Amino acid sequence: MSSPSSSAEEAPDLLCQLDNVQGMVDALTTVRWKRQQDAVMELSEHGVVLIVEETGCLQAKVYLQRELFTRYEYNGQGRPRFGVSLGLFVDCLNTFSVPGQSSILEIRYPGPDMQLLLKSVDSLDACIYAEIRTRIPDTVSWDYNFEPAGSTPLTFTVKSAALKEAIDDLEWPGSSIQINLQPVPPIVTFRGEGHGDLQIDLMYYVNTDLLVAFHCDRQVSYKYKYKFLRATTSNIPGSVIKDNRGSKLTIGRGGLLKVQHLVSVARPSTSHPRIDSAGYQQPSRIAYIEFFVKPEEDEDAANDR
């Protein structure tokens, strides 16, 4: 078991504090598409990145930049990485989140036995703590190496709520979904074929409330497995929908699909008047979530020209 060791005296690779635990729970929950998921966490002076993968077809990354933390002290060398159970980590963080109350959480890595240490630090006389066992990440995560498909990006931004609704609706027809982008008229089409056909058209200019931005100079079309597409929106937190945010989808070289969401990790409304009165402007505290979905193989290579 853990014992007081001399290493505890040395500065850990990371010591950080967070005042919005719920925001972090929201951000991490976004990439939790099944019960048992192993995640890899990567630490650097810029922040923490959490990576989850599904057998080389789907990868998700949560970027928690240092600006999201109220304190961020990094002393690691060469980006320390460790594996952790995502479900356990999120459930554990949840125990530190008190609804309607601002609580400060301290995260430290590594502990005496390479654990990830969490501790509430609001009160001098009471604390909750957790030690999560970490693993050496067993696979070097495959680099999805997203590259633009051509000289101009093929991308559109759609309201997150609408995207989620469209993908939820596409559950009915079957196992793969074709995404089609065409410049004239500017339309994004989601099409599922299986038990029947279902086609959802998002028309730019017709409804700019829904499809917020659209860049496409040539027609492209790729098929994606429904279950992977669904994973990108299945756990979008309520705050994203409430904030009426948009999600950006980009099709890269070879049809690799990038889906980006923005999750607010803003300070809870019970703010520190001391800081506010000093005229300090809080930069927007947003966690960036990225999913990379590989297309199904059978598409013709002509798409990439």
Partner 1 sequence: MKKFKEFLTENGVNLLEMRFLPALDKMGKICHLYLNRDHVIFLHNLFNGDGVQSIAQFRKEALFDDYRISSQNEDCISFAVDVSLLHRALRRIVSICTEFLNISISKYGDLHIQISTTLITLGAEFQTLLVLGERADAPSEDRNLSAQTRSARTILRGDAQSVEVSVKHFGKRLQCQLGKPNYAFYGIAPQGTGACWTVIFQFFIPGSHKMDKSISLHCILPVRDQGSG
Chain residues that interact with partner 1, rule: CB under 8 A: 1-4, 85, 88, 92, 95, 115, 124-133
Q: Give the tokens for residue 160.
A: 């997150």
Is residue 64 exposed (0-12), middle (13-18) or buried (19+ Cβ within 10 Å)? buried
Closer residue to partner 1 in complex, CB, 37/264: 37
Determine phi and psi for 250, rounding to 5 degrees: -130, 135
Contact 4, 10 (CB under 8 A): no
The single residue listed with the structure tokens 């650097």 is 44
Q: Find the shortest distance in angstroms from Cβ 51 to partner 1.
A: 19
Closer residue to partner 1 in complex, CB, 52/92: 92
Closer residue to partner 1 in complex, CB, 15/132: 132
Q: Find the shortest distance in angstroms from Cβ 87 to partner 1.
A: 10
Q: Find the shortest distance in angstroms from Cβ 11 to partner 1.
A: 15
Q: Find the shortest distance in angstroms from Cβ 165 to partner 1.
A: 36
Closer residue to partner 1 in complex, CB, 4/273: 4
Q: Find the shortest distance in angstroms from Cβ 122 to partner 1.
A: 13
How far apart are the C-alpha atoms of 264 and 289, rounded to whole Å?
11
Closer residue to partner 1 in complex, CB, 113/171: 113
Bridge partner list, 81: 42
> Closest Cα to residue 163, out of 22, 7, 30?
30
